[in-house]
Amino acid sequence: MKYISTRSKEKEYSFGEVFLKGLADDGGLYVPKSLKKYSKEELLELKNLNYYELSTEIISQFSSDFISREELSSLIKKSYSTFREKNVVKISNIGDLKLLELFHGPTLAFKDVAMQFIGNLYEYYLNKNDKKINIVVATSGDTGAAAIDAIKGKSNLNIFVLHPNNKISSVQRRLMTTIEEKNVYNIAIDGNFDDCQNIVKQMFSDLEFSKSINMSGVNSINWARIIAQAVYYFYAYFRLGIETISFSVPTGNFGDVFAGYLAKKMGLPIDKLIVATNENDILHRAISNGDYVSKEVKETLSPSMDIQLASNFERLIYYINNSDSEKTAEIMKKVKQNSYQIEKNNLEVIQKDFLSESCNERETLDIIKKNYEENKIILDPHTAVGVGAAKKLSFNDCVVLSTAHPCKFPDATDNAIKIHENLPDELKHVLSKDENFKVLKSDIEEVKNFVRSKT
C-alpha cells in the first residue's frame, strides 16, 4: 500500500515511512492512496474472528510492505497480552446504550490499544535496522502514559513526553512520571495542550533538527494508531450482530472518531458517528454549522479532550474534498489563520456521516450522577460526554466508546457522586512513588536543547 500527504500528491510513501515519521515533510498528514473496501460477503467472513485475528486482518490491509502477516499476527498477540480483558475490549450495557470499554490496557485509557501495538512495531523495525530513534510526543494526559508504557525499556529508543503543566489529573501525571526507565523523559510545559502540540509540530518541521535526532512521533495523527483503532469498530459491529451501527465518540484530536470514519469507508455499515465534545467545542460548532474557528482552550473535567485544534480533522477535510490535496492545502492555510468556515456543500457531506453535540461541565457531572443512580455504573468524565451527546441527540441505541477507566479521574467522580474508584492493584504504587519531570517554558528552543542534551 502506498501513501501520500493530504497536501500534495507528488510523493509516495511506504507504510514504514508513514509509521516512523508520523507527519509528512510538507506538514500534511499521511493517507493511503487507495482503500480496501469489504463487501457484505467479505464482512460476513470476518464475523467470528477474535480480536487478535481481526486486528491482523484489518491492519495487514495497510502494512503488508512492512511486516508479513505472520509476523504481524505474533506482534499483535504480544501487544494485547498486556490487557486485563481476554478479548482486549468489552461491551457492556448502560440503560439502552452500549458501552464499548476500551480501557483495559496497562494505563487505563483507550490509547493503550494503539500504543501497545506501536511500541512493538518500533521494536520490530529496530531489530532489523541498526538505528536509534527519539520519540517526541505531546499529550493531553493519556497518550503520554500509554506511549511510555509501550516504549519503556526498549533498546535504541528514547521517549520525550510533553504535557501541559498542572493541567492533567494527578493520576494521569503519575502514570507517566513514576516510570524509572532511563529511556523515558517527562517534560511539563507551562502552557496548554495546544502549546505542547505546536512545539512538537515545529520540532518536526525543523528538518535539520528532526533528522539530526532521528525524531519519530506517536501522537494521534500517526496512521499506525488510526488503523489499530479502526479494529474495535469492526469488532463491536460483529459482536452486536446488528444491521447498521452508530457510535458516540468522546473527541479531542479527532483521531478516535476518524478511525470510525475509516472503518465506514472500508465498508463497515456505520450509520452515524457522533462527535462528542466538552466545552472545547470547536468540532461541534464545525460539524453543526461549519464554524471551524478555535477559541481559548478551557480546562474541563475531561482534560484529554481540552483541545481546540484537532489535528486529524485535516484527513476529513481531504476526504470530503474528494481527495483533492491542493484544495486541502488551501484550506489548511485558512485553518492556520483561524478563519476557516466549512463550505455549505462540504458541510452537507460531513453531516451524512457525522452528528455532533457538546456537554458542559454541569451536564457531565449530572450524567455521571444519573448513571450511577440508575445503572450503578461509574463513568469517567470523557465517557460521560459521549453518553451525554448521544442522549442529547436522542440517539438511544448507539454504542458509546468508553475511553478511560473512572479511577483515572477521581476528582470528577468525587465531585459528581462522592465516590472514586481505586486503581487496579498492579497500579496502586504510582500514587506513592517519587515523580520525575522537568518543567520548561512554552518555548521550542528550550525543549530542543533539553532533548539534544539527552540524546
Ligand X SMILES: *Cc1c(COP(=O)(O)O)cnc(C)c1O
Q: In sequence order, what DSSP letters do the residues of 329-362 get, joined into one string?
A: HHHHHHHHTT-EE--HHHHHHHHHHEEEEE--HH
Q: Which is nearer to ligand X, 254 or 318 (CB)?
A: 254
83-102 binders of ligand X (CB under 6 A): none
Task: Work out which of 101, 149, 195, 256 binds ligand X, going by CB under 6 A.
Answer: 256
Rule CB under 6 A: is residue 252 a binding residue for ligand X? Answer: yes
- Can you tell me which of 116, 197, 253, 308 binds ligand X, judged by CB under 6 A? 253
CB atoms within 10 A of CB 34: 9
Segment interacting with ligand X (CB under 6 A) among 56-64, 248-256, 314-322, 430-438 = 248-256
CB atoms within 10 A of CB 336: 11
Q: Measured between alpha carbons, how far is 195 from 192 in angstroms, rounded to an integer?
A: 5
- By beta-carbon proximity to ligand X, the closer residue of 175 and 215 is 175
- 42, 21 contact by CB (below 8 A): no
Q: Which is nearer to ligand X, 22 or 255 (CB)?
A: 255
- DSSP symbol at 29: B
**Cross-strand bridge partners of residue 94:** 97
438: helix, coil or strand?
strand
Nearest to 281 by CA among 270, 265, 295, 299: 295
Query: Total residues contacting ligand X (rule CB under 6 A)?
Result: 17
Does position 142 bind ligand X by CB under 6 A? Answer: yes
304 binds ligand X (CB under 6 A): yes
- Residue 254 makes contact with ligand X by CB under 6 A: yes
Position 251 contacts ligand X (CB under 6 A): yes
The stretch near ligand X (CB under 6 A) out of 253-261, 284-292, 318-326, 411-419 is 253-261
Beta bridge partners of residue 134, listed in sequence order: 158, 215
The span of 12-20, 155-163, 246-254, 435-443 binding ligand X (CB under 6 A) equals 246-254
Task: Map residue 291 onto helix, strand or coil.
Answer: strand
Of 62, 60, 46, 56, nearest in space to 80 by CA: 56
Stretch that binds ligand X, among 66-74, 196-204, 249-257, 387-395 (CB under 6 A): 249-257
Binding mask 109-128 for ligand X (x = CB under 6 A): x-x-----------------
Is 1 or 305 the residue whose CB approaches ligand X more closely? 305
What grid cell was written down for 100?
464499548
**Residue 189 exposure: Cα atoms within 13 Å on the Cβ side:** 28
Nearest to ligand X of 189, 451 (CB atom): 189
Could you tell me which of 198, 272, 227 has the C-alpha nearest to residue 63? 227
Residues 6 or more apart in contact with residue 81 via CB below 8 angstroms: none
Identify which of residues 66 and 261 has a Cβ nearer to ligand X in the complex.
261
Nearest distance in Å: CB 77, ligand X: 25
CA distance 265 to 262: 5
CA atoms within 13 A on the CB side of 439: 6
Q: How far is the CB of 26 from ligand X (least distance, A)?
A: 23
Q: Which of residues 283-302 bind ligand X (CB under 6 A)?
A: none
Sign of the dihedral defined by the CA atoms of residues 196, 202, 203, 205, in that order = positive
Compute the residue count for the chain. Answer: 455
Identify residues 176-235 at the interface with ligand X (CB under 6 A).
220
How far is residue 192's CA from residue 70's CA, in Å, rounded to a whole number? 42
- Contact window for ligand X (CB under 6 A) among 255-263, 324-332, 363-371, 390-398: 255-263
Taking CB under 6 A as the rule, does residue 442 contact ligand X? Answer: no
Give 67 or 404: the residue with its C-beta nearer to ligand X: 404
Where in the sequence numbering do the catalytic residues fall? 111
Least Å distance between CB 404 and ligand X? 3
Could you say which residues in the range 350-409 bind ligand X, by CB under 6 A? 382, 403-404
Using CB under 6 A as the criterion, which residues of the chain lie in contact with ligand X when the complex forms?
Answer: 109, 111, 142, 220, 250-257, 304-305, 382, 403-404
